[in-house]
Structure 1
Amino acid sequence: MLAAMPPTSPTPVNRDEAPPRAAVRKSVRERGDACPGALRLHAADDGRLARLRLPAGLLTPRQAEALADAAERLGDGHLDLTSRGNVQLRGLGQSCGAELAERLHEAGLLPSETHERIRNIVASPLAGLDQLPSADVQLWARELDGLLCASKRAAALSGRFLFALDDGRGDVATLGADVTLLARRDGSVVVRTGANRSGLRVTPENAPRAALLAAETFLTLAEASGSGAWRVRELPAEHGRGLEAAVRAGLADAGIATEYVAEASEPGPGPGSEPGSEPGSEPGSEAGSEAGSEASKPDPEGEPPLPGPVLSPDGTVALSVHARLGRLSVAQWRLLATAANGPLRVTPWRGVIVPGVAPAAAGAVLDRLRTAGLITGPGSPWHGVGACTGRPGCAKALADVRSDAAAAVSRGSGGLPVYWSGCARRCGHPQGRWVDVVATGEGRYDISVQGDARSITTTTGPELELKPELELELADAVAAARTTPLTR
């Protein structure tokens, strides 16, 4: 039975602060990072789970087929795409770990067993595949991955630590990474840590090494703090404030010249805009003497790739395709792999970029993918709809959120992304603003709009359990929330 808040037309209400999350982060972690990997399998209710890191989301056709074969022979016949552009296999047997590792080794997907969980690198997925000028973030990703795997120190990073390599359009720079490389119009790269909008400008050839050094500096501060922090945002305030200066000192010791770039003073120009140059500094600050007389311009804030065709500079077409609720069958996966003329790119928005399609064939390929159940255009009612695993795969889930999300899809599309969570942990939720649909138990859901700085509730009053014949009211409430305007 579905449930929702009362089905009256709600009035959005702004709150000064976001509601408290399910759990308050402890100042000192008392256990190690149990994040699953390709070798450390997680025991879920539907079998073992393996999470395979794919730096920049890249998969050659041979590697894509190896994953399809592993999902088919060892798992439940599906591949799950994560919010970091990685791939998960579910339903794995108790004793398949060794065989899975052997298959991944043979496919070149496990370059380092000691570092396999820390290879969390997202990159702008359309870099070089559309008409926007872009930095070679794929090259950065390969170099950074090699540096990470060669660093004994880096092996101590948490499996949750994230690198983002942005080609200048501002898409992955908004994903809350711990270390971000942001390409600039003048050809330089800005290295950022955590939520800082300020950063350190370096040359492109030094960018991957600077990212590694920033991560290693974080480890030093995390150990000094005694907090056991896994992410930059978890550092105690006094250590977090000193991270940027410590990174700068470390880069200087390594012979990497830097220049401070101050925080942007206004919102970015939006998707498709040409990246701006560095903003100026605040008067009287240390940055003011180093930023020079550069014009103050905002940072780009790009959007994720919409589903559909993208014209590439070489005259071919790249197809941006999304998976319904982030889950692909082996048959769907193989359709994508066979359509590509080059490596697939798994995106942090649970999609796949299929490169190198001949223009004359692109329409027919999209038709086949759409018929197979994939999202091939922004008009699909599935576009922007996400969900965690929920029941029966997750023991903590309070509802079968995937089934409930699927039942609600037909009631409306467009507007804000919507994410269905089986419990208050909200695993895998998107960044920015989204409609937050959280199971609260006994067939009930809490629906709100979450944002970067505050929460805008879209419903008022106590939760209401609905009768079976009124189940559509949940879908209507979600559809209404997706088009709720932000009041200020």
Structure 2
Amino acid sequence: MPPAPSNRPDPDENPVPSVTPVRDRGDACPGALRLHTADDGALARVRVPAGVLSAAQAYALADAAERLGDGALDITSRGNVQLRGLEPGCGGELARLLDAAGLLPAPRHERVRNVVASPLSGLDGRGHLDVQPLVRDLDALLCASARAPELSGRFLFALDDGRGDMAEFAADVMLLAEPGGAAVRVTVGGAAVRVRAEDGPRAMLLAANAFLDAAAASGTRAWRVRELPAAHAVSAADLRARVAAAGLAAVATASPPCPDRAPGRESRPLVGAGHGAVYVAAPLGRLRAAQWRLVAGVAERYGTGELRVTPWRGVVVPGAGPERLGALEAAGLVTDPASPWLGVGACTGRPGCAKSLADVRADATDLLPAGAGGLPVHWSGCERRCGHPRGARVDVVATGDAHYQVSTPGAPPRTVPLTELAGALAAARTTTPTKTPTK
């Protein structure tokens, strides 16, 4: 079993709001240049579109973590990379290191480069289209856009190659490849348009601009598409008109619909090897700099020189073979599909977060075997549930005084002391969840 990582992940996303919020300020989401102060030091979040890094960029991140931070890197639920424990006043030096590595192509836009994409696209032959070139086009368009910096640091773009693995992220703007790969469907909220694959990134930017106009008209200054009041939702007619005005041809197709839901874990790069790639996971999403360098070294010496960080807090190394798994496992990375680490996530908890009521990462590690193989579980240090992923899972929320609240979808929560948590957790994870209405 890998050693327990120390308390450190990220508050990437919060649950869907129950009412339409009215934003009276810009979001405070951290970035590479806008650092967030936590109990364990400053925090920087480096946006990595589709999680794609060169080996050289990965080495640069490891250097930054050791020179300026606590010597580790966190993978967020959007496949970005986070550094914690940064010393006061290090922002300028961090920016210089990231810029030299090509990780800050447009400083004004760095917080809006939130892009996830099918990590195995172009590798395993399962998708309709390799979306990686489209990711690069979208990123270039974002970085060149005068309006893109108006987007919230929480606004999310997703590109799905047709396998359905991006559906679970409920992105604000989604590109989904159609069968055959010649056309893609671009959606924003309930509005959708089909365009040629090569026009997909431009259509995505047009959809984001439509959201910005809708948010301004609504008076809510919404951060996410789902926050727009129904009366101000982006309409299909508006999206089609914008596409036409930009000179993009809408595609008429009689092809069957693409999947709207992820078909299951088999579509995700969890851990193992195959199709010309190796994929590993990091326990609770945290890698020490030495582990990170090892993965980068595998990419540099045995792969294509590229690695892809996944939203499931793992790393894909294209071009590497299964013979590399032994060294990665020996370094504490997860390579076994049956590992209990694959079903466990946690927020930062104590001592990194002042609001946390418990050291949830230590407790999650201690109770790792409880219910292993059952429903996924997410541990939260307080009721804010930072970093909580979507989908059916068991919620374990600290309530103080060594007690936790345990709940499953469709069932009432139960508060139990830490001494009884193992049994309660095992029972909850092996219970068939009851479906709850989608918000």
Q: Distance in 2 between matches of 1:322 and 1:127?
A: 18
Corresponding residue SS for 2:134: helix
Which residue does 2:309 correspond to in 1? 346
Matched, 1:207 2:200: yes
Q: Cα RMSD (Å) of the superposition?
A: 2.1
Given residue 175 of structure 1, which amino acid in structure 2 is its aligned partner?
Answer: F
Corresponding residue SS for 1:392: coil
Q: Within 5 Å, which residues of 2 pair with 1:461-472?
A: 463-465=415-417, 471=419
2:98 is matched with which residue: 90, 96, 104?
104
Which residue does 2:271 correspond to in 1? 308
Aligned-pair CA distance for 1:476: 2.4
Q: Distance in 1 between matches of 2:123 and 2:193?
A: 28
Aligned-pair CA distance for 1:403: 0.5
Which residue does 2:124 correspond to in 1? 130
Aligned-pair CA distance for 1:93: 0.7
Aligned-pair CA distance for 1:439: 1.1
Aligned-pair CA distance for 1:86: 0.1
Matched, 1:238 2:193: no
User: Any runs of at least 4 consecutive aligned residues in structure 1 with deviations exceeding 4 A, and if so which?
Assistant: 21-26, 294-300
Given residue 49 of structure 1, which amino acid in structure 2 is its aligned partner?
Answer: L
Matched, 1:393 2:352: yes
Q: Distance in 2 between matches of 1:295 and 1:96?
A: 53
Q: Which runs of 5 or more residues in structure 2 are unaligned?
A: 1-14
Aligned-pair CA distance for 1:159: 0.4
Corresponding residue SS for 1:169: coil
Which residue does 1:191 correspond to in 2? 186
**Deviates further, 76-85 or 244-253:** 244-253
Q: Distance in 1 between matches of 2:103 and 2:257?
A: 43
Aligned-pair CA distance for 1:101: 0.2
Q: Within 5 Å, which residues of 2 pair with 1:86-235?
A: 86-187=80-181, 188-194=183-189, 196=190, 199-235=192-228
Aligned-pair CA distance for 1:486: 3.1
Given residue 325 of structure 1, which amino acid in structure 2 is its aligned partner?
Answer: L
Q: Within 5 Å, which residues of 2 pair with 1:206-355?
A: 206-240=199-233, 242-258=234-250, 299=260, 301-302=262-263, 303=265, 305-312=268-275, 317-340=276-299, 341=303, 342-355=305-318
1:421 is matched with which residue: 356, 360, 380?
380
Which residue does 2:56 correspond to in 1? 62
Q: Deviations over 1:380-415 (max 9, x none)?
A: 121121001011111111111101100110334112
Aligned-pair CA distance for 1:465: 3.3
Which residue does 2:330 correspond to in 1? 371
Aligned-pair CA distance for 1:210: 0.2
Contact 2:405 2:416 in 1 (8 A): no
User: Identity over aligned residues, as a percent?
Assistant: 59
Q: Distance in 2 between matches of 1:296 and 1:68?
A: 43
Contact 2:343 2:373 in 1 (8 A): yes
Count of aligned positions:
415
Aligned-pair CA distance for 1:306: 4.6
Q: Which runs of 5 or more residues in structure 1 are unaligned?
A: 1-20, 260-289
Residues 487 and 419 (structure 1 numbering): CA distance in 2 closer, same or farther, change over 3 Å? closer
Given residue 104 of structure 1, which amino acid in structure 2 is its aligned partner?
Answer: L
Q: Distance in 2 between matches of 1:295 and 1:89?
A: 43
Matched, 1:384 2:343: yes
Q: Distance in 1 between matches of 2:195 and 2:225?
A: 21
Q: Distance in 2 between matches of 1:50 and 1:296?
A: 40
Q: Deviations over 1:295-324 (max 9, x none)?
A: 567546233525333322xxxx31111110
Contact 2:371 2:430 in 1 (8 A): no
Given residue 324 of structure 1, which amino acid in structure 2 is its aligned partner?
Answer: P
Contact 1:137 1:165 in 2 (8 A): yes
Aligned-pair CA distance for 1:479: 2.2
Given residue 184 of structure 1, which amino acid in structure 2 is its aligned partner?
Answer: E
Which residue does 1:45 correspond to in 2? 39
Which residue does 2:363 correspond to in 1? 404
Contact 1:411 1:476 in 2 (8 A): yes
Corresponding residue SS for 1:115: helix
1:456 is matched with which residue: 401, 406, 411?
411
Contact 2:270 2:312 in 1 (8 A): no
Q: Deviations over 1:144-199 (max 9, x none)?
A: 000001001111000000000001100012211000000011321001113x3x62
Contact 1:22 1:424 in 2 (8 A): no
Corresponding residue SS for 2:355: coil
Residues 348 and 439 (structure 1 numbering): CA distance in 2 closer, same or farther, change over 3 Å? same
Q: Distance in 1 between matches of 2:118 and 2:16?
A: 31
Q: Distance in 1 between matches of 2:168 and 2:18?
A: 23
Contact 1:46 1:393 in 2 (8 A): yes
Given residue 322 of structure 1, which amino acid in structure 2 is its aligned partner?
Answer: A
Q: Distance in 2 between matches of 1:438 and 1:83?
A: 18
Aligned-pair CA distance for 1:221: 0.8
Given residue 137 of structure 2, which amino acid in structure 1 is its aligned partner?
Answer: E
Q: Distance in 1 between matches of 2:337 and 2:39?
A: 34
Given residue 228 of structure 2, which amino acid in structure 1 is its aligned partner?
Answer: L
Q: Distance in 1 between matches of 2:362 and 2:259?
A: 42
TM-score, normalised to structure 1's length?
0.81
Contact 1:51 1:86 in 2 (8 A): yes
Corresponding residue SS for 2:367: helix
Q: Distance in 2 between matches of 1:230 and 1:404?
A: 34
Contact 1:22 1:425 in 2 (8 A): no
Which residue does 1:269 correspond to in 2? none
Given residue 247 of structure 2, which amino acid in structure 1 is its aligned partner?
Answer: G
Q: Deviations over 1:19-41 (max 9, x none)?
A: xx798656311221110000000
Which protein shows a greater Rg?
1
Corresponding residue SS for 1:174: helix
